[in-house]
């Protein structure tokens, strides 16, 4: 096969040695070209160019943001996407069942390629931008924005930085006294008092260490989107909701302060002023309107054999 290995050298877990080992392992059975990203959005252009040149698979060594960019370059083409975890959390790669260690994950990827374990999957889109696993609107996007302002610490602080940013944002930087936007799911009553919404293409929402945050088990690559909306950020109900995510998430979905919808193909968000949003863990700014859709059969994805079974 003809492969392009896209490497984000700034990603938290990417090392020069690891990149060389991975490239050599891939090149043992395939024709491999290596390209490094140098700026935001670069992976999209590299992936789109590879698809136009007839590349069979684009392998991404980087975090979720780089993987998202590559997916946006490949959506609608026959070139497949493959993940090798190189970021701080690697939500999508871990959701697929890949090991955290990038060398071990490369072995699982080579095994999947040898077995032809590639399938078409659905993606979500938000205002025309594809996402692999989720979009966050409101509070969590404000947290991601806070983390990105301290991006130089992310490689070293990782989950501690996210924890501090979440607490600081909750205490000082996000208005918890008023609703921020309305959520309109096609065919359902409007949720007009939303504080925080996450739209999921897969579950879990994220990982804290080895623990998954389970929000919507219904969200899988074989089904349309799930929408989870929190209508309060008060301390006691929020603590109850968060504790549920460390288990099955069932209590969260049944909580009176949560609105939950599954198998959603279209949803619109209207802000009461600009609302922050993040896509696959990357903060993309504040907007007043978001339109989210489910796009079936949008992308070819290399699936680890354990996940495929």
pLDDT in tens, 263-280: 999 999 999 999 999 999
Residue 55 half-sphere exposure toward CB, CA atoms < 13 A: 25
What pLDDT is recorded for position 153? 63
Mean pLDDT for the chain overall? 93
Cβ count near 40 (within 10 Å): 11
* Intervals of the chain under pLDDT 50: 308-309
Instruction: Say how far apart CA 84 and CA 82 lie, in whole Å.
Output: 7
**How many residues does the structure list for the chain?**
309
The pLDDT tens digits for 292-301 are 999 999 999 9
Percent of the chain past pLDDT 70, that is, above it, reads 96
Task: Give the closest residue to 299 by CA, choosing from 153, 50, 122, 82.
Answer: 122
Residue-wise pLDDT for 196-220, tens only, equals 999 999 999 998 877 898 999 999 9
pLDDT of residue 306: 66
Contact (Cβ atoms closer than 8 angstroms) between residue 213 and residue 204: yes
DSSP per-residue string spanning 118-166: EEEEEEEEETTEEESSEEEEEHHHHHHHHHHTTGGGHHHHTHHHHHHHH
Cα gap 270→256, rounded to integer Å? 22
197 within 8 A of 213, measured Cβ to Cβ: no
User: Which domains does the chain carry?
Assistant: 2-116 (3.40.50.10330), 129-295 (2.60.200.40)
Phi and psi angles of residue 210, each rounded to the nearest 5 degrees, phi first: -95, 0
């Amino acid at each position: 096969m003809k492969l392009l290995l896209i490497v984000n050298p700034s990603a938290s877990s990417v090392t020069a040695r690891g990149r060389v080992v991975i490239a050599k392992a891939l090149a043992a059975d395939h024709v491999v070209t290596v390209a490094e990203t140098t700026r935001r959005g670069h992976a999209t252009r590299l992936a789109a160019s590879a698809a136009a040149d007839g590349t069979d698979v684009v392998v991404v060594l980087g975090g979720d943001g780089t993987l998202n960019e590559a997916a946006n370059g490949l959506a609608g083409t026959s070139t497949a996407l493959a993940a090798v975890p190189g970021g701080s959390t690697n939500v999508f790669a871990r959701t697929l069942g890949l090991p955290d260690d990038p060398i071990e994950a490369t072995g699982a990827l080579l095994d999947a390629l040898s077995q032809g374990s590639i399938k078409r999957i659905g993606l979500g889109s938000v205002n025309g931008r594809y996402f692999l696993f989720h979009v966050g609107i409101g509070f969590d996007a404000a947290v991601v924005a806070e983390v990105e302002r301290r991006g130089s610490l992310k490689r070293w602080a990782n989950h501690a930085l996210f924890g501090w940013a979440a607490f600081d944002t909750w205490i000082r930087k996000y208005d918890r006294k008023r609703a921020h936007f309305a959520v309109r799911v096609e065919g359902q009553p409007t949720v007009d008092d939303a504080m925080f919404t996450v739209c999921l293409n897969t579950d879990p929402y994220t990982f804290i260490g080895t623990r998954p945050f389970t929000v919507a088990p219904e969200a899988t690559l074989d089904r349309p989107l799930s929408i989870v909306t929190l209508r309060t950020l008060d301390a006691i109900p929020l603590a109850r909701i968060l504790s549920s995510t460390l288990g099955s998430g069932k209590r969260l979905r049944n909580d009176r302060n949560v609105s939950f919808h599954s198998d959603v193909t279209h949803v619109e968000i209207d802000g009461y002023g600009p609302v922050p949003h993040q896509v696959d863990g990357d903060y993309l700014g504040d907007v007043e309107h978001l339109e989210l859709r489910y796009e079936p059969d949008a992308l070819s994805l290399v699936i680890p054999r354990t996940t495929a079974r």
